[in-house]
Amino acid sequence: INGVHMLLDEAINKLEACKQKQLLRFYNELDPEKQNMLLSQIEATDFSVVRTDKDSGARGAITPIDVTGISEINLRRNEFMSVGLSEIRSGHVAAVLLAGGMGTRLGSDAPKGMYNVGITRDLYIFECLINNIKDVTKASGNSIHLFVMTSDRNNDATIGFFKEKNYFGYDPDYVHFFIQDMAPASDYNGKVYLEEKWKISTSPNGNGGWYSSMAKGGMLDIVKDNGIEWLNVFSVDNVLQRIADPVFVGATKLSGCSVGAKVIRKASPDERVGVICLEDGRPSIVEYYELTDEMREAKFPNGDPAYNFGVTLNYLFRVEELNAIIGKSLPLHIVEKKIPHIDEHGEHIEPDKPNGYKFETLILDMIHMLNGCLVFEVDRKHEFAPIKNRTGVDSVESARELLKLNGVIL
């Protein structure tokens, strides 16, 4: 008996225990190299995430949360700015770019950050973000460490692109890439798909695992060695967002909260953003697709909507607090999606409508685990231009208009 046979037995046991034996359907047809590839993937995959029960469980009592509004921020702007700049100059602030997503809605195979939003010149999404962070390195005179999360699917392309573009003038010593985990994708009955006869179908496991992936990728040594105390985590698609914004840093530090969240006033009750609130007295976010009519219609005595602020996926976390929750598991979200796969006859299938589930944890669920959240309002015209789609709402088109409005030459 050699190692491979042992591993095959083990794989059979593992798959029988989680009812996924279909993954070995084509095993006997494969050459030894591909057999080994499949076996090692079976070994490495956590099948316990797979489920078909979409009900994510009852929520606690939802009440409105205090928001620090723009006018209040403006009154204390200088004070916040000076505290924030001093944190940045002490090297206490770093940034984390979440770029592991598939960006399926944009419909490009390349990493989303490689999308060119320029019209008369090249201007890539990554470049917009680097330009935004450079505003702060210039103002503070200090370099800021930037951690970039990728996935197995886009890591090489992302790193290659940064190199090719000379990091858009950012100091490469301050850019660190790390790879997030993948999760298996299944059909509606919870059977994991094969992407190839020798390859399990997987997709990035959501943006909730960013901090544990940083730990796995050795990034926390850099955090520790450099005395980094705050991590400003942001999404790849909001080309207008301020990164390591000194006013936000100063306000969050002075608030004493574990985390700050940049929020916008919703454009309409149905805008597709997660709404910030309290749940059983702790900060929490309700995703737009979970919003109840009751929440949508709730009003304060003065007539203002009670749940009127959406998160922009720009959070400032205190590292100490992240370390305290690192082992805790986040709720799992089940997302329906189109999953290309090999059917039982060995044919490649490219579905044109959703045919199964992927399993994700979300960064927004981390907020509920932390003590206190500063809800920090920003002006959406100047800080919120997410690119999710090609056209329409939250699109390349709408972001271009907003970039122009803010004086960015396209």
Taking CB under 6 A as the rule, which mask of x and - marks residues 337-376 in contact with ligand UTP? ----------------------------------------
Inter-CA distances, 202 with 41, 185, 341, Å: 10, 5, 10
**CB of 179: closest distance to ligand UTP in angstroms?**
10
**CB of 237: closest distance to ligand UTP in angstroms?**
6
310 makes contact with ligand UTP (CB under 6 A): no
74 makes contact with ligand UTP (CB under 6 A): no
Q: Give whichever of 80 and 317 is closer to ligand UTP, judged by the CB atom.
A: 317
Q: Give whichever of 299 and 390 is closer to ligand UTP, judged by the CB atom.
A: 390
101 makes contact with ligand UTP (CB under 6 A): yes
Question: Are the CB atoms for 363 and 208 separated by under 8 Å?
Answer: yes
213 makes contact with ligand UTP (CB under 6 A): no
Kindly tell me which residue out of 204, 217, 260, 274 binds ligand UTP, with binding defined by CB under 6 A.
Answer: 204
**CB of 287: closest distance to ligand UTP in angstroms?**
10
Tell me which residue has its CB nearest to ligand UTP. Answer: 101
Kindly tell me which residue out of 237, 245, 383, 394 binds ligand UTP, with binding defined by CB under 6 A.
Answer: 237
Give the Cα separation of 333 and 360 in Å (integer). Answer: 5
* Side-chain half-sphere CA neighbours of 331 within 13 A: 19
217 makes contact with ligand UTP (CB under 6 A): no
285 makes contact with ligand UTP (CB under 6 A): no
Q: Give whichever of 140 and 205 is closer to ligand UTP, judged by the CB atom.
A: 205
User: How many residues at the interface with ligand UTP, by CB under 6 A?
Assistant: 19
Taking CB under 6 A as the criterion, which residues in 162-201 touch ligand UTP? 180
Q: Give whichever of 87 and 394 is closer to ligand UTP, judged by the CB atom.
A: 394
Kindly tell me which residue out of 99, 130, 396, 402 binds ligand UTP, with binding defined by CB under 6 A.
Answer: 99
Q: Which stretch binds ligand UTP (CB under 6 A): 4-12, 30-38, 233-241, 345-353?
A: 233-241
**CB of 388: closest distance to ligand UTP in angstroms?**
6
Q: Give whichever of 237 and 245 is closer to ligand UTP, judged by the CB atom.
A: 237
Residues lying near ligand UTP in the complex (CB under 6 A) are found at 98-105, 149, 180, 204-207, 235-237, 313, 388
